[in-house]
């Protein structure tokens, strides 16, 4: 992250070369992405977070099965947790000063939206 922070910053800003896809639609900036995610979670019938799968993958997958009205026995369900570490962004924030500054410099609305989704900054 430290080595390629300028690319991350361009990506998070919705800047070039990320600014448009083949259809000519603009690429969301990080604050726009956070806002869209918050709106989606408010209206979603089902929202699943990877962190919740790491805690109890069977319970989270069961939510999906119930949402699509699939008849199953949860006792027979075996689900491996994700093979990634949870909340890795916090580790990156501690190790990469530019990322720490990026988070600190987010506008108060974006920070509040992130925290409302269950993430601490």
Looking at the fold, whether 72 and 102 belong to one and the same domain comes out as: no
Together in a domain, 120 and 92: yes
Q: What is the pTM of this model?
A: 0.68
Higher confidence at residue 120 or residue 98? 98
* Cβ-Cβ contacts under 8 Å for 24 (sequence gap 6 or more): none
Mind listing the pLDDT tens digit for each residue in 69-118?
877 777 777 888 777 777 778 888 889 999 999 999 999 999 999 999 88
Q: Is the peptide bond before 17 cis (omega within 30 degrees of 0)?
A: yes
Cα angle 37, 40, 46; round to 5:
115
Distance from the Cα of residue 3 to its chain's centroid = 22
Task: Kindly state whether residue 118 falls inside one of the protein's structural domains.
Answer: yes
Q: How many domains does the chain fold into?
A: 2
pLDDT at site 19: 60
- pLDDT, tens digit, 9 for 90 and up, residues 17-60: 666 555 666 778 899 999 999 998 888 878 788 788 888 888 88
95 shares a domain with 121? yes
């Amino acid at each position: 992250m430290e080595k390629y922070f300028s690319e991350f910053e361009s990506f998070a800003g919705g800047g070039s070369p990320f600014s448009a896809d083949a259809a000519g639609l603009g690429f969301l900036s990080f604050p726009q992405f956070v806002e869209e995610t918050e709106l989606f979670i408010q209206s979603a019938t089902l929202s699943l977070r990877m962190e919740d799968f790491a805690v109890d993958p069977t319970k989270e997958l069961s939510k999906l099965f119930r949402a699509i009205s699939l008849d199953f026995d949860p006792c027979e369900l075996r689900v491996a947790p994700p093979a990634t570490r949870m909340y890795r962004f916090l580790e990156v924030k501690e190790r990469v000063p530019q990322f720490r500054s990026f988070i600190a410099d987010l506008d108060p609305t974006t920070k509040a939206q992130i925290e409302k989704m269950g993430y601490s900054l």
